[in-house]
Structure 1
Amino acid sequence: MFNEEFHLEQPIRWGMVGGGRGSQIGYIHRCSAQRDHLFQFVAGAFDVDAARGKEFGQNIGIAADRCYPDYKTMFAEEAKREDGIQAVSIATPNFTHYEILKAALEAGLHAVCEKPLCFTAEQAEELLALAKKNNRIVGVTYGYTGAQMIHQARRMIEEGMLGEIRIINMQFAHGYHSAAVEANDQGTKWRVNPKTAGPSYVLGDVGTHALFLAETMVPNLHIEKLLCSRQSFVKSRAPLEDNAIVLIQYDNGAIGNLWASCVNAGSTHQQKIRVVGEKASIEWWDEHPNQIVFAEQGKPVQILDRGQGYLYQDDEAITCDRMGGGHAEGLFEAWANLYRRFATAMDRVNHGEQASDVMNEMWFPNITDGAQGVRFIENCVRSADEGSVWVEYK
């Protein structure tokens, strides 16, 4: 059960870039970071409109003199304070992530960043090197992987209950953008513009979530090559895709397929991960995040529920239930589980440990995982643009 008494010697002083009025993602960052009193929210640069950002910040309880017009000013001014921020969350459009995260690391700050971290593998390598040099933690908000049953599935796979892994089916295929909603929705408009979204739309926006679910559940498999076909069914979105299919060959001979889409008309989310082994399979669906389906060949299908005594009890990622089994926990709890881990990792580094050691010893979506997402998108775009051919994974 969740340990409410767990605390840090001092909460991590924390600020935000972006996530202001009208943000699709800012609220869940703030709620999740503060839920367990491990972060103290003290500053922000919330909006490209400085006056609007200051008004917003004051309305949610930030002191007026710590509502900054931009991230550069915030980093500079907070560095002058004895009580300045120690970490920052970046909740801005894709094209800004690289420059803001780089500036945060150069300022000696830990960071939590929306994906993608950047647009190219070269930029990702630069960020990896900078984080290592400055010994900083970077968390990435692959929020669904904070769900406990993902980690129950990981342990069952690790224990060999599925046998050798053969097939991984991944999908995140919603229908909310089956028409050109971006004409009247600013939150979607930047996502379908290559200048602000980068080289991909749905592969980066939702596909990497499904990919990281697979990487969390089966971490010992690595991609050898892939083939990507991507489409722009709403023609005005070209060259960015609103639908994509990726075929994957793993290094153990297993295969995978990923369907990423925003034009699956009638679908709410349809984010599912199914791992098939020689003896059994496991499936998780984000619209039913408290369960996994375990199906062993020749035996009745089992539905395993969060919070039950038959789950692995020696793993905090599985047993961190915030309420008893049978009650629904959802995305806010999953994000809070991640922010709890981000805080723990940052605090360990603040007390003298090396970030690389901490990342090796505890699981959380980190900068290496974020860099892998950038590489995946880059390889998918390369395959699609070369005529949907198999490419060696770089």
Structure 2
Amino acid sequence: MHIGERKIERPLRWGMVGGGRTSNVGYKHRLGALRDNTAFQMVCGAFDLDYERGVDFGKNLGVDPERLYPDYKTMFAEEAKREDGIEVVDIATPNFQHYEVAKAALEAGLHVICEKPLFFEVEQGLEIQKLAEEKGKLVCVTYGFSGSQLLLQMRHMVKTGMLGTINMVDLKYTHGYGCDPTGDVKSEGQKWRVDSSKVGKAFVLGDLSTHTFYESQLATNDMKLKQVLCDRQAFVGSRYPLEDNAYVLMRYENGAVGRMWCSCVDAGTPETQVIRIVGSKASVEWHDAQPNHLLYQEQGKPAQLMIRGNDYLCDACNADESLGATHVEGLSESWANIYLKFAVAIDAKNRGDEETLKNLVYPDLEHGIDGIRWINACAKSADEGGVWVDFE
């Protein structure tokens, strides 16, 4: 059980690019990073393209006004002059800026934590991977709900054979908050999400399904995907050629099959993810709307409801426990869990501790590149008329 004691020698000096007052995700990043003041310390930021608004916002967060910057280039240059300059940068900007900021951060000798999806093309991911290796730095990806402990319990059950041979993977991430198209114009956090010049080849496939795809990879011990077939729609026509609804079929290298439904026009449904892994002996199912519960169904036996924080769960699951079984957790705790692992990973990288890095389970650069592969394969399949496309 984790109760806030430090896991690294000192907090890492950390700053943000983006994530300001109009951001939909900035507060989640700060909640995650700053739950344990032993992991990260916020020291600077370039929070907003509107510099005055960004400065006002940063002051309200308690950041030293001298360390509030008009843009990321200035921030990296000025922080490099300081003995107490940042060590880690958090990129919480619209998608189209991720690559340029991540590259500049690595070139400045900084570790990177970045929103998903990472970049537009796999080639960009491979370039960043090479640069990160040259600089000896890490790139981490914020798949928010992936810090939910019960996903690690699913991983354990798959790995130890409790489900038998994995045959099917059934995934869903839908909500109805995109039914009203006026939000595409009125909300600064939504405008760029429906602009193909700023998000690349997809809307909900990138914004929603990449989360669930990574979480399914986490739960299945990175079961290798072979092919995808995608059909996508823009039910709000102004979003075309981007999609607000998509169905994806999957084929895995081991013979398993799967499906994904992602949508922001599932009218009446609040934001929700479902991950169901079906094996030859049993199935396991998790909902983000009930993140403290895991349904285990063994063929021929009564269903079991596993509840977060209990001793019958695996060690890896309970290592992330912080509140106790009778106290519910949710998205903010999940973010905090992955940020703590980011801190441990970065500290291990700084010390050359490859053993710790090898055994940590968190969304790293390789998983971020797989997210790019996922989006691009789905978009290619749909654009070619719904055909099977290799996952490469």
Normalised by the shorter chain, which TM-score bucket?
over 0.9
Amino acid at match of 1:125: L
**1:8 alignment partner in structure 2:** 8
- 1:169: Cα distance to partner? 0.3
- 1:322: Cα distance to partner? 1.5
**2:35 alignment partner in structure 1:** 35
C-alpha distance in 2 between matches for 1:197 and 1:5:
39
**1:375 alignment partner in structure 2:** 373
- 1:387: Cα distance to partner? 0.8
Alpha-carbon contact 1:293-1:301 (below 8 Å) kept: yes
- 1:32: Cα distance to partner? 1.3
Q: Tell me, what secondary structure is at the counterpart of 2:208?
A: helix
Query: Is 2:241 the counterpart of 1:239?
Result: yes
Q: Tell me, what secondary structure is at the counterpart of 1:97?
A: helix
Amino acid at match of 2:309: G
Query: Is 2:336 the counterpart of 1:336?
Result: yes
C-alpha distance in 1 between matches for 2:15 and 2:170:
38
Alpha-carbon contact 2:170-2:276 (below 8 Å) kept: yes
Query: Is 2:124 the counterpart of 1:123?
Result: yes
**2:289 alignment partner in structure 1:** 287
Q: Tell me, what secondary structure is at the counterpart of 2:251?
A: strand
Q: Note the 1:127-138 alignment, pairs <5 A.
A: 127-138=128-139
**1:178 alignment partner in structure 2:** 179
CA distances 1:332-372 after superposition (whole Å, capped 9, x unpaired)? 11110011000011111222345xx6543211100110010
**2:204 alignment partner in structure 1:** 202
- 1:197: Cα distance to partner? 1.4
**1:275 alignment partner in structure 2:** 277
C-alpha distance in 2 between matches for 1:150 and 1:352:
28
Query: Is 2:208 the counterpart of 1:212?
Result: no
Alpha-carbon contact 1:3-1:320 (below 8 Å) kept: no
Q: Tell me, what secondary structure is at the counterpart of 1:295?
A: strand
Q: Note the 1:252-263 alignment, pairs <5 A.
A: 252-263=254-265
Alpha-carbon contact 1:359-1:366 (below 8 Å) kept: no
Question: What root-mean-square deviation, in Å, do the aligned CA atoms of Structure 1 and Structure 2 show?
Answer: 1.2
C-alpha distance in 1 between matches for 2:220 and 2:318:
16
- 1:31: Cα distance to partner? 1.8
**2:231 alignment partner in structure 1:** 229
C-alpha distance in 1 between matches for 2:263 and 2:347:
38
Alpha-carbon contact 2:158-2:221 (below 8 Å) kept: no
Could you tell me which runs of 5 or more consecutive residues in structure 2 were left unpaired when the two chains were aligned: none
- 1:220: Cα distance to partner? 4.2
Q: Note the 1:102-121 alignment, pairs <5 A.
A: 102-121=103-122
CA distances 1:68-98 after superposition (whole Å, capped 9, x unpaired)? 0000000000001000000011101111011
C-alpha distance in 1 between matches for 2:141 and 2:153:
21
**1:392 alignment partner in structure 2:** 390
C-alpha distance in 2 between matches for 1:100 and 1:129:
16
C-alpha distance in 2 between matches for 1:169 and 1:182:
30
**2:321 alignment partner in structure 1:** 321
- 1:157: Cα distance to partner? 1.1
**2:252 alignment partner in structure 1:** 250
CA distances 1:123-181 after superposition (whole Å, capped 9, x unpaired)? 11111111111111111111111011110111011110110000000110111001212
CA distances 1:283-306 after superposition (whole Å, capped 9, x unpaired)? 000000011100011111111000
- 1:183: Cα distance to partner? 2.3
**1:366 alignment partner in structure 2:** 364
Greater mean deviation of Cα atoms: 6-15 or 17-26: 6-15
Q: Tell me, what secondary structure is at the counterpart of 1:300?
A: coil
Q: Tell me, what secondary structure is at the counterpart of 1:85?
A: coil
Greater mean deviation of Cα atoms: 182-191 or 39-48: 182-191
C-alpha distance in 1 between matches for 2:339 and 2:278:
30
C-alpha distance in 2 between matches for 1:237 and 1:4:
44
Count how many residue pairs are aligned between Structure 1 and Structure 2. Answer: 390
Alpha-carbon contact 1:228-1:381 (below 8 Å) kept: yes
C-alpha distance in 1 between matches for 2:260 and 2:313:
28
C-alpha distance in 1 between matches for 2:357 and 2:206:
24
Alpha-carbon contact 1:233-1:243 (below 8 Å) kept: yes
Amino acid at match of 2:321: D
C-alpha distance in 2 between matches for 1:174 and 1:6:
37
Could you tell me which runs of 5 or more consecutive residues in structure 1 were left unpaired when the two chains were aligned: none
Greater mean deviation of Cα atoms: 51-60 or 257-266: 51-60
State the 4+ residue runs in structure 1 displaced beyond 3 angstroms. none
Amino acid at match of 1:245: Y
Alpha-carbon contact 1:305-1:326 (below 8 Å) kept: no
C-alpha distance in 2 between matches for 1:152 and 1:164:
17
TM-score by length of 2: 0.97
TM-score by length of 1: 0.97
